[in-house]
Chains A and B, each alone.
Chain A
Amino acid sequence: MIRFTIRRFLSLIPTIFIIITFAFIIVRSAPGGPFSSEHNTTPEILENLQKKYHMDESMPRQYVRYMSQVVQGDLGPSFRYKDYTVNQLVKQALPTSMLLGFMALAVAVLFGISIGIISALKQNTWVDYSSMSLAVIGISVPLFVIGPLLKLYLSLKHDWLPTSGWLGERNGWLVLIMPVATLCLPYLASIARLTRASVLDVLRADFIRTARAKGLSEPVVMLKHVLKGAMLPVVSYLGPTFALILTGTVVVETIFTIPGMGRFYIQAAFNRDYTLILGDVIVLSILMLFMNFLVDIIYGFLDPRISYK
């Protein structure tokens, strides 16, 4: 197990480099460039700009230059946010996105798993039907409908909650409620449905019958055996989901004007802000690799039948 963990961990380092390399190629082969804009720039200015960002060098040299910067933890200057480095931008935006994402997922996991278990235990009763119907609605109504609706009723009509913004001097924790509630909804619904399906599978397994037969109390059976066994697909789902949410969500951050990472994805891609896109990719890939690594480790704890050779 320990040997596996170490080996698995070491395999992440080359993976990150492969990701950055691929991303570099993709970013550079996209049509257009960071300096192409509607009004024409004179060739002299363009030349100067390209020189400043080392774009006049050959592609392999630029790649080597970028990689050696990245190894030292320097993600380079942003092409569009003048006078900002990508490090600064990420440092400002990432904690916001992480806080929002973490709270939304915490709510989603807590309620999703509870609802899933309850509807599995009460299978084919009105409790089950109504909670699963709510879950389907939660999945099928898009965030850009729920967000504005909440805003309309909770802050414009009743003035209970602030419309938008983020934690700061003017806003207290109340500002968190709506974005977290909006963002968590589809994940809550997905987790509830996954948990229900998985619990139903596990409830019929032989080892549950054995656990009951040897006289374990129902709460112990549920918590130690059913829940532990049923968490496997939920954990598989949560790994990548966590990574994707913690690195920012475009829709919710736009609706509630939250200064997170989400806005960079679209802006940077359209502006061809090469370094910012690559910075996004690096942050996401580190989190993604780490989360999936964690998931693989958790498998071993959740299910004694999983063994790594």
Chain B
Amino acid sequence: MAKPTAPKRDSLTNEFDQTMKPVSLWTDAWRRLRKNKMAFGGLIIIVFYFVACLASPVLPIYPYQEQVVSHQNLPPSLHSAGKVMLFTRTAYMKQTMEADGRSEFNADEKAQLEAMRIDAQVNPENNRVYLLGTDNLGRDLLSRILYGGRISIMIGLTGTLTAVFVGIVLGSISGYVGGRLDNLMMRFVDIMYSLPYMLLVIIMMALFGQNIFNLFIAIALVSWLTICRVVRGQVMSLQNAEFVEAARSMGASTGRIIFRHLTPNTLGVIVVFSTLMVPQFIMQESFLSFLGLGVSAPMASWGSLVSEGANVMELYPWQLLAPAITMTVFLFAMNFLGDGLRDALDPQSKNKL
């Protein structure tokens, strides 16, 4: 029988004499995140998106701005553009034929189809393959979605990160300190909510010019307001909790109490809230770009692709579906990752799993 050892202070061995590795919040979270299948799947999808979008200049895709005038509004297909054009033309002609009550193509139509068939073989341009179809200017949608992803993911993530960072810091300080400072900070938030946003953006545009950096600022400007108020409310309700009292009685500084004890306990709501914000920023970017601040044609973003696609969704549904599904899958992955992160960072479940 092993003789009982005195409990060690540096806690590298526990009371059963097993060696223990001290774990930080993040290694612990990472371990738990890997065990969560949904969250890990989400992480993999997001990494895939990142790689695909970052690598888009070197991928074997057509340039996003290149127009082939004859390839307008082609549906998604694995076949070459020439075949797709021939096929859609034939289908259209059959329709008119049936509408006219004929059972055969007339000479004119036959000649047209024959010309297209020859063109499809001769013209090298017609060998192009558009996996996700083309838009109304004959540009490859796949390429536009990939390039657009660079803008939209960047916007979504920077917007969310700024919002979360500023929101957490200001919200928790405001909620914890309370009193006059709280009143002052919350009135500032109210003021920011109420100012005419569009004009602010127009003035920014006039003063600092139009570039992607100012687009970030325009989005970050008001993105943190709601999350700041949410965090403040959570902190206000938690600030008298026992674990905060305990930390206070042990002489923890205000900063430590706020950022080591209070914010981890509000993470559940913060994570959900920040994943809710990503699509808002992506759509806001398209709105700002529409106004002239932000990215301009021929550059694309998911937001602008979706809003352009929405205009023609009855005629050419893929122009809406392709970017919308791409975006939705990304947001799904974000949400699952967010939920997983929440569980992984949850201080209450520290000893589970």
Residues of A whose CB lies within 8 Å of any CB of B are 8, 11, 15, 18-19, 22-23, 26-27, 29-31, 132-133, 136-137, 139-142, 144-145, 148-149, 152, 190, 193-194, 196-198, 200-201, 204, 232-233, 235-237, 239-241, 243-244, 265-266, 269, 277, 280-281, 284-285, 288-289, 292, 295, 299, 303, 305-309
Contacts and interface: CB of A to CB of B under 8 A. Distances in A.
A289 B203 contact: no
Contacts of B186: 292
A144 B313 CA distance: 11
Contacts of A136: 328, 331-332, 335
Given A26-B199, A142-B283, A204-B348, A289 B230 contact: no
Contact of A190 (B179, B237, B238, B276): B276
B229 A239 contact: yes
Interface residues of B, number: 54
Contact of A22 (B178, B179, B191, B229): B191
Nearest to B232: A236
B46 interface: no
Given A137-B328, A292-B229, A305-B240, A269 B202 contact: yes
A139 B196 contact: no
A140 B196 contact: no
Contacts of B190: 15, 19, 285, 288-289, 292
Nearest to A285: B194
Contacts of A285: 190-191, 193-194
B141 interface: no
Interface stretch (B16-24, B53-61, B265-273): B265-273
A232 B313 CA distance: 40
A147 B25 CA distance: 45
B179 A309 contact: yes
Given A145-B324, A289-B190, A197 B269 contact: yes
Contact of B324 (A141, A200, A243): A141
B91 interface: no
A200 B268 contact: yes
Contacts of B238: 305
A300 to B, nearest CB: 10
A288 B335 contact: no
Nearest to A198: B269
B307 A144 contact: yes
A237 B226 contact: yes
Given A19-B194, A26-B203, A237-B230, A197 B335 contact: no
A193 B196 contact: no
A299 B237 contact: yes
B225 interface: yes
Nearest to A149: B313
Contacts of A307: 240
Contacts of B239: 305
A280 B193 contact: no
B191 A265 contact: no
Interface secondary structure of B, over-half rule? helix
Interface in B179-196: 179, 183, 186-187, 189-191, 193-196
Contacts of A305: 237-241
Nearest to B328: A140
B63 interface: no
Given A299-B236, A308-B178, 17 more contacts: A19-B190, A26-B196, A136-B332, A142-B279, A142-B307, A145-B320, A149-B313, A194-B269, A198-B268, A232-B234, A265-B198, A277-B196, A289-B194, A292-B229, A295-B233, A305-B239, A305-B240
Contacts of B332: 133, 136, 140
Nearest to A204: B348
A136 B229 CA distance: 23
Contacts of A204: 348
B250 interface: no
B303 to A, nearest CB: 8
Contacts of A23: 194-196
A269 to B, nearest CB: 4
Contacts of B139: none
A144 B287 CA distance: 12
Contact of A243 (B179, B187, B193, B328): B193
Contacts of B196: 23, 26-27, 269, 277, 280-281
Interface centre among B178, B191, B225, B241 (most CB of A within 10 A): B191
A264 to B, nearest CB: 11
A266 B226 contact: no
Contacts of A277: 196, 199
B316 to A, nearest CB: 14
A140 B269 contact: no
Contacts of B200: 26
Given A190-B276, A233-B233, A265-B198, A29 B203 contact: yes
Contacts of B328: 136-137, 140-141
B194 to A, nearest CB: 4
Nearest to B240: A305
A132 B183 contact: no
Nearest to A143: B283
A11 B185 CA distance: 12
B272 A140 contact: no
A306 B237 contact: yes
A176 to B, nearest CB: 23
15 contacts: A15-B190, A15-B191, A31-B203, A136-B328, A136-B335, A139-B276, A140-B328, A144-B310, A145-B324, A193-B276, A201-B268, A233-B230, A236-B230, A236-B234, A280-B196
A280 B237 CA distance: 34
B191 A18 contact: yes
Nearest to B193: A288
A145 B198 contact: no
B307 A232 contact: no
B118 interface: no
A23 B331 CA distance: 35
